[in-house]
Structure 1
Amino acid sequence: MDASGMKVLFCVPFKLAEPKGNSVAATRLMAGLVLKGIAVEVAAPPQVEEPRVMTEWAKKFDPDVVLVFHAWRCRTAFKAIMEAGPFPQVVSLRGTDLNEMLDDPACRGEIRAILNACSGITVFHEAAATRLSTIDRTFTEKTFVIPNGVFLPSSDEDFRSRLGVPKESFVFGAVAGLREVKRPLMILPWLARLREEFPRLAWIHAGEPLETAVTHRLRELSLKFRWMYHVDLVGHSEIDSFLRAADVFVAASRSEGSPHAVREAMLAGMPVLLSDIPGHRNMATASHEALFFNGEVEFMHQARKLIQDPDLCRQLGEAARKRVENELEQKDEIASYIGMFTTIIQKGKGKTHE
């Protein structure tokens, strides 16, 4: 598909340098689109929060299509671009905007208005598309299912040595910003109780201090639990090594779309233990590609199985890796976005791209 000459404006809720899912996705998509000859400009905070700036940006850049990376957090930019002209806008529902805010009385009216006004909607899974159709059937014809891409460069850094984790430890690992929605610290008291049975347990975590209360709690727990090891940031070039420093990858989020960290762990061949939420359930088959938990009792039960059964860990990890590899082979993320942009442009909802 020849899309050279197309112009796309991204509106993202966080700066590209921040290790957030939206920023990682925008950086990856921009690189892929540019390789196809597409001109991409990125509006990030504080610009996306200033209506006049976004109106002028849209008029000056004159994009063929706009990709909005969060319905709620980029709502100011969306409205400003609407006022600037008939630019088709695609809203990417990526997590909390779909899973929580669409049901929140404080947000849902404005989000639904944006979804009604936009030219297209992207979601990661068929289940998300089905949920949208139950909210408003008119969303169905403009919803595109495009799985989240993933890129995992290989590396050989020894994070156990770097962090000082004893070699004989059985390690639970996690990658998540220190935010309440990610619930990164929820499992620590449970692991502490498991250590009474399995004293070799350790926990490693990578994630920026994003919310004060969660960051303060991490510091308190680090003084109490000497078997936990934290690093604020791991560069993407080394994330493969950090993931493989663990024996099991854990994600305890309250809400997700299709988190990069989980997909990267699966691609790395890690057994994954995931909170039982729709975003995670759509990524893996229970007991084949992942284990799931709701609360402490289920977590302890699943964790014991993984600690005591190396064959189960290996089988889960291999199945998870194969699933992600198969998905990447079947669905080219960049080609899917270009196809969607082309379809929307050709429908005449904006300028016709030559």
Structure 2
Amino acid sequence: MAKPPLVCIVSPALAPANNGNWQSAARWARFLRSRCRVQVIQQWRPGAAPAPDLLIALHARRSADSLAAFHAAHPDRPTILLLTGTDLYRDIHVDTAAKGSLACATHLVLLQDAGIDELPPPLRGKATVIYQSAPSLKPWTAPRRHADIAMIGHLRDEKDPVTFMQAAALVTAPRARLLHIGGALDPALGAQAQATQEQVPRYRWLGALPRAQTRQRLRRSHAMALCSRMEGGANVIIEAVTSGVPVLASDISGNRGMLGADYAGYFPPGDVVALARLIDRSIADPAYHALLRAQCAARAVLFAPATERAALLDLVDNLGLTSPDTT
């Protein structure tokens, strides 16, 4: 009896990192195990046995060596490149290795539909959009003492945590509390978060928390702030939307591709005053908060696990994978 095809997922981050790349890799592995044998590794090297029937690489630059090596060793086997935020909106435009990944991958996957504009026109034909997903949680309905505004993401420049910190000093709503969850990947930003916490009572930096605890914190929040300078398709948007929590998001392509062009909760990237005003408005104006919730709810069907699983399996099924007797 023939073995199911072997799929290798190359992820720059594994479980200890608990970041978006790892969450994507783990979720795709879970979906694919119903049809395939699956490995999740950080790097694929020539000579690894058995050779996979399909290689899926996350991140054009950081997985470039694995993708290039596999393509050279097995040019007849398919490869899928999943484009995340920094590679889609930065690396593929300036980095030689990332550009090479675009060229040698047989299929490209984007996490939201606005990302197609970032690809060179000749490559757009091999791109598929697959929205990521999260299980839905029942929205929080109990009375809240605080109107918590959550920001979730490790402290690094691309996430622009400084805008969130500085907005905390400008928010005027008495019930507002700005909670930042994430580890300090940049020690200087960690020091700034600590200093902000000491100077601005409504700001609290909670550090890195387990995923389940983070999601419950988010579920109890009044809104979520996403200040990123670049995003490929933020997992935290999905987790907010599927928990009934509206999003206040920087007006960038990756966020528009997730929330829609007409979403009412955007602010200009890095605009501290605009973010503070949106936070105050979301608390003071119930109709505005309800509008954001309704707009997010309308996008929730895109982020259902069944939708993502079906799209991924459809893509892989159409590759016609077989598991040969020899590698």
Letter in 2 for 1:299: L
- Say whether 1:76 aligns with 2:65: yes
* Cα shift readout 1:221-274 (whole Å, capped 9, x = no counterpart): 122122222222332333332013321210000000111111111111112100
- Return the alpha-carbon distance in structure 2 between the equivalents of residues 287 and 345 of structure 1: 39
Aligned to 2:183: 208
> How do residues 50-61 of structure 1 correspond to structure 2 at under 5 angstroms?
54-57=45-48, 60-61=49-50
- Say whether 1:126 aligns with 2:113: yes
1:308: how far off?
A: 1.2
Aligned to 1:245: 220
Contact 1:155–1:237, Cα closer than 8 Å, also in 2: no
Contact 1:272–1:316, Cα closer than 8 Å, also in 2: yes
- Aligned-residue sequence identity (percent) comes to 22
- Say whether 1:8 aligns with 2:7: yes
1:275: how far off?
A: 0.4
Q: How well do the aligned residues superpose, as a CA RMSD in angstroms?
A: 2.8
> How do residues 109-120 of structure 1 correspond to structure 2 at under 5 angstroms?
109-120=96-107
Contact 2:133–2:304, Cα closer than 8 Å, also in 1: no
Contact 1:243–1:265, Cα closer than 8 Å, also in 2: yes
Contact 1:287–1:316, Cα closer than 8 Å, also in 2: no
- Say whether 1:142 aligns with 2:126: yes
Contact 1:267–1:322, Cα closer than 8 Å, also in 2: no
Contact 2:57–2:80, Cα closer than 8 Å, also in 1: yes
- Return the alpha-carbon distance in structure 2 between the equivalents of residues 154 and 200 of structure 1: 23
1:330–1:32 distance in 2 versus 1, CA, 3 Å: closer
Among 151, 170, 176, the residue aligned to 2:135:
151
Contact 2:109–2:128, Cα closer than 8 Å, also in 1: yes
Among 295, 298, 308, the residue aligned to 2:284:
308
1:282: how far off?
A: 1.0
- Say whether 1:93 aligns with 2:83: yes
> How do residues 205-354 of structure 1 correspond to structure 2 at under 5 angstroms?
205-285=180-260, 288=263, 290-294=264-268, 295-324=271-300, 326-328=301-303, 332-345=307-320
- Return the alpha-carbon distance in structure 2 between the equivalents of residues 216 and 330 of structure 1: 37
- Return the alpha-carbon distance in structure 2 between the equivalents of residues 351 and 183 of structure 1: 47
1:351: how far off?
A: 6.8
Among 159, 166, 189, the residue aligned to 1:182:
159
Local SS of the residue matching 1:8: strand
Aligned to 2:40: 42
* Cα shift readout 1:135-192 (whole Å, capped 9, x = no counterpart): 241x123211211222355699x9x9xxxxxx64332111111111111231222221
Letter in 2 for 1:18: A
- Return the alpha-carbon distance in structure 2 between the equivalents of residues 304 and 242 of structure 1: 20
Local SS of the residue matching 2:228: coil
Unpaired runs of at least 5, structure 2? none
Local SS of the residue matching 2:311: helix
Letter in 2 for 1:20: N
- Return the alpha-carbon distance in structure 2 between the equivalents of residues 12 and 88 of structure 1: 17
- Say whether 1:170 aligns with 2:147: yes
Bigger CA drift: 221-230 or 115-124? 221-230
Letter in 2 for 1:176: G
Contact 2:139–2:244, Cα closer than 8 Å, also in 1: no
TM-score of the aligned structures, taking structure 1 as reference length: 0.82
- Return the alpha-carbon distance in structure 2 between the equivalents of residues 271 and 183 of structure 1: 19
* Cα shift readout 1:95-139 (whole Å, capped 9, x = no counterpart): 1101111222xx1x322222111111111233222431xx241x1
- Return the alpha-carbon distance in structure 2 between the equivalents of residues 25 and 213 of structure 1: 28
- Return the alpha-carbon distance in structure 1 between the equivalents of residues 212 and 260 of structure 2: 29
- Return the alpha-carbon distance in structure 1 between the equivalents of residues 168 and 193 of structure 2: 14
